[in-house]
Chains A and B, each alone.
Chain A
């Protein structure tokens, strides 16, 4: 447990350090890149002092951490708003998108995986496998436009982009969720097929339980363990996918904020977005780890 916690803390520290260093990787003078060549000397000096870029690196990192602990992420160079306010307004949108995508992934992936496992090596299984293999290889910047073209432009069921309508979330959530569901389908199938050969399933059948109970209460429960891990890991590509998906569908979340900040060379905002997304991912992984340990009586925290 303690070792686990130490691991977690070092990773978080590393993430903070790497994001902090980002701004120092700007070739040349970051202040000049941000303000443009025409900026006056006074403006440059002011920004440099503001960002603390005139101090030694270690000291800068120290004050970065101190400010962060107080919830201070600096302010946007362009709009002068505190970045924490930007994050507060944008983060819920991304969270909403990610949660709905996760739900779509689970709601489609697990039942379909169970179906494929029960029909293993029949034509139904082959169809599901082929579709899910193809779907999981589709990058969001291709799946997104396809869904947009089909459901928004041609069929007109959902808005093309934006977030004004209550159904605006459907297409971006499908873009992210379908890819996840494809991976979950394959994992559920494999995992369930492994479990179905176990002794306790034979026992359950032998004592006369009906097949549905055997599958759902016994087999699926055991098969879900590896799936939890996969979901945790896949949240990474889902979070990264939000950057592109939000851009495609003009969804005002963290991902779009990141892209906008890059276009405006508003590096403090870029830095903050990267940090927030990375920390969310670390938190998700910690959470899945705990969930796994809770779900599996064989895994002990001390181990």
Chain B
């Protein structure tokens, strides 16, 4: 499981580096090659504008990963902060904060991200913003539940009676106990952010042309499915291989760190 996940990730790293080494141009238009199948010049064929699909997949994976990492880091920071505060203080603070997360959770799946991306306008930074506004909720819930039960642990009470300040209690005495559960959650979240990013780009709300993104490539692939079925297939398989590798990595970490997530 571990080897499989690592080899797929390694494959992508090597592929991206090789792409640079061979100087693949994702935005170079070649009119003769429009929607052509795999050939010596274009290993995975060319898209509807005659651009090399392989080169675009290799730029796409970097964008996808970049967005996933940034969004995961930001949402985790916000979510954990809110969860810690809610779980630590309890009472009214907890009720208000959890009510807010309930409201965010009342919007199914990525609908709210779609809505935010729609009003903010397309583009990379708005895409990241939209995913961040909606993505912190699961971390907040998870952290809050854990913080609530850790709040009255002996070592926390002991530190508190010795006069430790609240930030110190949260950061030094509660957060470290959450680190393994958060690492696992973050791994899965990288995969789910990649899917969310691709969904938004699929709907035209993400990265804008001419820059490559897997979601937009899938949409074009569907559009030209009748003439060039290889297009949608290679992009979809690329995305799935990466998602699979990350999820397997998450499973491995979960078992290794012995984390129980309800």
Contacts and interface: CB of A to CB of B under 8 A. Distances in A.
Given A137-B243, A139-B199, A14 B106 contact: yes
A25 B116 contact: yes
Given A278-B106, A278-B107, A244 B199 contact: yes
Given A142-B240, A259-B203, A149 B232 contact: yes
B195 interface: yes
A145 B232 contact: yes
B99 A145 contact: no
Interface in B105-124: 106-112, 114-116, 118-121
Q: Which DSSP category, helix, strand, loop or mixed, fits chain A's interface?
A: helix
B195 A139 contact: yes
Given A240-B111, A244-B202, A281-B108, A153 B116 contact: no
A281 B204 CA distance: 24
A278 B114 CA distance: 12
Contact of B121 (A27, A141, A145, A281): A27
A179 to B, nearest CB: 11
Contacts of B107: 15, 18, 274, 277-278, 281
Nearest to B215: A141
B123 to A, nearest CB: 11
A247 B103 contact: no
Interface residues of A, number: 51
Nearest to A13: B103
A145 B203 contact: no
Given A139-B199, A149-B233, A281-B106, A263 B115 contact: no
Interface residues of B, number: 42
B222 interface: yes
Of listed B99, B215, B218, residue having the most chain A CB within 10 A: B218
A148 B222 CA distance: 9
Interface in A149-204: 149, 153, 160
A11 B215 CA distance: 32
A153 B109 contact: no
A195 B180 CA distance: 30
B102 interface: yes
Contacts of A22: 115-116, 119
Contact of A137 (B202, B204, B218, B244): B244
Q: Which of A12, A15, A160, A238 has the most CB of B within 10 A?
A: A15
A152 to B, nearest CB: 9
Given A25-B116, A274-B111, A274-B115, A141 B199 contact: yes
Contacts of B103: 10-11, 14-15, 17-18
Contact of B108 (A10, A11, A240, A259): A240
Contacts of B244: 134, 137
Contacts of A137: 240, 243-244, 247
Contacts of A263: 204
Contact of B218 (A12, A145, A236): A145
A241 interface: yes
A263 B219 CA distance: 15
B150 interface: no
Nearest to B237: A142
B14 interface: no
A282 interface: yes
B239 interface: yes
A263 B99 CA distance: 32
A14 B100 contact: yes
Could you say which of B115, B222, B247 has the most chain A C-beta atoms within 10 Å of its C-beta?
B115
Contacts of B116: 22, 25
Q: Which of B110, B195, B202, B240 has the most CB of A within 10 A?
A: B202
10 contacts: A10-B99, A11-B103, A14-B102, A15-B107, A23-B119, A26-B121, A141-B218, A237-B109, A270-B119, A281-B108
Interface of B: 99-100, 102-104, 106-112, 114-116, 118-121, 195, 198-199, 202-205, 215, 218-219, 221-222, 225-226, 229, 232-233, 236, 239-240, 243-244, 247
Report, nearest first, the 10 A-B pairs whose CB atoms are least far apart: A240-B109, A14-B103, A236-B108, A262-B118, A281-B108, A239-B108, A142-B236, A237-B109, A274-B115, A240-B108
